[in-house]
Amino acid sequence: MKLKKLLSGLVFGAAIVATPVHAAPILSDIVFVVDESGSMGNVQTNLRNNIGLFASILTGTGQVDAQYGLVGYGDRGVSPRMLTDFANAGDFSTAANGLRTNGGTEPGYLATAFALNALDGQSDLFSFRSNAVKNIIILTDEPNNPNNSSFYGTVGGANVDSSVLDSILTDNNALYNGVLRGTSTINSYSSLITGHGGTVFDLNLFNTNDASVVTAFVTDFANKKLQETLDFCDLNPTDPACLPTQDVPEPGTLGLLSLALGGLVFRRRLSKFTATS
């Protein structure tokens, strides 16, 4: 009988005072790494004009809190450069006006390493939040070149080849996506992308003046990025970005016992009040 009352009090007390745990939005720090060769003008314009749509879809459900950084690479100087540290969509769009289309050598592996603050002696560093998912998106129509890009930057004194970049992505637990065109380009990046939770997207759908095609692409891309971020936390529940909020902790054993006792006391007082009424 006492056990029955205890269980009854537990349920009754929990129903009165228990507050459900609400997970905070997943923080996502996204760096776009953009090829600055002469064929990328439409892509750069479409990125600048549609980052607002992308952001509204990605964060519109309240499940993700994102900010956006931008790297340009492969202009006449070849070496990657930061156009903006993490910013909102509006400021990102403004910064994207600084992208160039005057290059022809595109060391995309090096630029990706730069986006993750991994180059030797790198001075421009992205201010990643310590509890955010790191998400790198490269947009290019050329394979990584030159294969030996150490003249433009190194990691641990070594050229940034695919194995070095793979290690950098692993060390950062970073997602990697590519918006790519051409068989050689896809072959250059696809194993790194699929090996780090990402997808290869068709650059042809973003390198066009057809606004309806671009809108459809951005909508699909953003929705897949949203699902990718949620899936990341399903697969990595102990990652700092995926831990539940501590504002309203889930009741532990002692908390449940307290609820039970509180429920019993409440029931007894309620019974006495009813008997005297």
What is the residue-wise DSSP string for the chain?
-HHHHHHHHHHHHHHHH-----PPPEEEEEEEEEE-BGGGHHHHHHHHHHHHHHHHHHHTTSSEEEEEEEEEE-STT-S-EEEEEEE-HHHHHHHGGG----B----HHHHHHHHTT-STT--S-----TTSEEEEEEEESS----S--TTT--BTTB---HHHHHHHHHHTT-EEEEEE-SHHHHHHHHHHHHTTT--EEEGGGTSSS-HHHHHHHHHHHHHHHHHHHHHHHHH-TTSGGGSPPSSSPPP-HHHHHHHHHHHHHHHHHHHHHHHH-
What whole-number distance in Å separates Cα of residue 216 and Cα of residue 265? Answer: 60
* Residues lower than pLDDT 50 in the chain: 1-22, 246-266, 269-270, 272-277
pLDDT for 23: 65
Find, among 199, 183, 176, the residue nearest to 108 by Cα: 176
Q: What is the pLDDT of residues 167-212, one digit of tens each?
A: 999 999 999 999 999 999 999 999 999 999 999 999 999 999 999 9
Q: What percent of the chain has pLDDT over 70?
A: 80
pLDDT for 244: 81
Question: With the CA atoms of 66, 220, 102 and 31 taken in that order, what torsion angle do they form, in degrees rounded to the nearest 10?
Answer: 20
Residues 6+ apart with CB under 8 A from 189: 108, 138, 140, 143, 144, 178, 180, 200
What whole-number distance in Å separates Cα of residue 33 and Cα of residue 36? Answer: 10
Answer whether the bond into residue 244 is a cis peptide, omega within 30°: no
pLDDT for 191: 98
Half-sphere exposure of 53 (CA within 13 A, CB side): 15
Whether the model clears a pTM of 0.85, i.e. scores above it, the answer is no
pLDDT for 245: 61
Provide the 10 A C-beta neighbour count for residue 8.
14
